Amino acid sequence: MAAAHEDGSAGTARAASMSWPPLPPKESGRFAELEQTLDSGQVDPAKAALRDPVDDRRRAEDRAGAIEDRDAARAAEALDRGDDEAIALRAMAYAADYDRSKKIYDSRVEVLIAGLDHAHAAAEFVRNAAAGILALYQAVVGLAFVAKDHPLPVSGVVSAVFLALTIASATAYIAWLSPGSAVASPRPAASLIARQQNELNAFSDWVAMAVLRRAYWMHVAVVSLFVGAIALPLPFLTIPGVDLTSPMVVAELVVFGLGVALILPPVAYGFGALARSIQAQLGWLDRG
């Protein structure tokens, strides 16, 4: 039984070792070569000859598959590189746009703050100019009319009145404290640039309100300085048919000047607002 089992195992091993690959067609030259090899008793070379084309075909297929895999990997790397480059370019463009927007935003904020400082500096300039002119005027008048027999005409107070009104009005513009008005909050926006623009508009409205809240007194100061400068030569003038030494004449001049100084600014501001409104309407019609 054991011997029979060993013979069966040996036969199975020989049958496994004698398994043959597919035979070539009889019409081909390889079949004749295989037949001659078998006739000479060379079985293993015959089996190798049959397997070589199969192995070559498999190696060729494996090589082609490897090439396709390599090309696919290279294509994927190229796409990844392209995506990375596109992302980098978008990031650079966003960074440049953000930097430009930030510079514009900071510059406009600085301009608005400078506008507020400029308004206060302008009021200081007008007040100091009026004070300097008044001091110089008093010195000149004092020297010119120092003699008792040559007193200062009453018309000499006209310029002093309006220069003093200039100083008072400019001081009121700077130092008069009054409650401010609420400014609407910036509108929310998803875009950074839009949000910055809304914040800038709100800040601009706040600055404009702070500058223009007492702009009337600044306008009065400017007009009063102009009237006072024009009235400086009155004590030294002689106008035919006009008695500049008469208190009534001088009072009429002062009242007229006060009317100009107090009424002209709102009238001019109203005409300016009307002109701006008409210009805006015309621009809207042109765009339409």
Of residues 26 and 220, the one with the higher pLDDT is: 220
Give me the pLDDT at residue 54, please: 55
Domain ranges of the chain: 22-88, 97-280
- ∠ CA(171), CA(173), CA(179), 5° rounding? 125
CB within 8 Å of 200: residues ≥ 6 apart: 105, 108, 109
Average pLDDT over residues 60-71: 71
Question: With 50 as the cut, is the pLDDT of residue 278 above it?
Answer: yes
- CB count within 10 Å of CB 218 equals 21
Average pLDDT over residues 88-92: 76
List pLDDT tens digits, range 18-53.
Answer: 445 555 555 555 556 656 555 555 545 545 555 555
Question: With 70 as the cut, is the pLDDT of residue 276 above it?
Answer: yes
Of residues 160 and 10, the one with the higher pLDDT is: 160
List pLDDT tens digits, range 139-154.
Answer: 888 888 876 667 788 8
Closest among 57, 51, 61, 59 to 24, alpha carbons compared: 51
- Lowest mean pLDDT of 61-65, 117-121, 163-167, name the range: 61-65
Average pLDDT over residues 124-140: 92
Question: With 70 as the cut, is the pLDDT of residue 218 above it?
Answer: yes
Give me the pLDDT at residue 112, please: 86
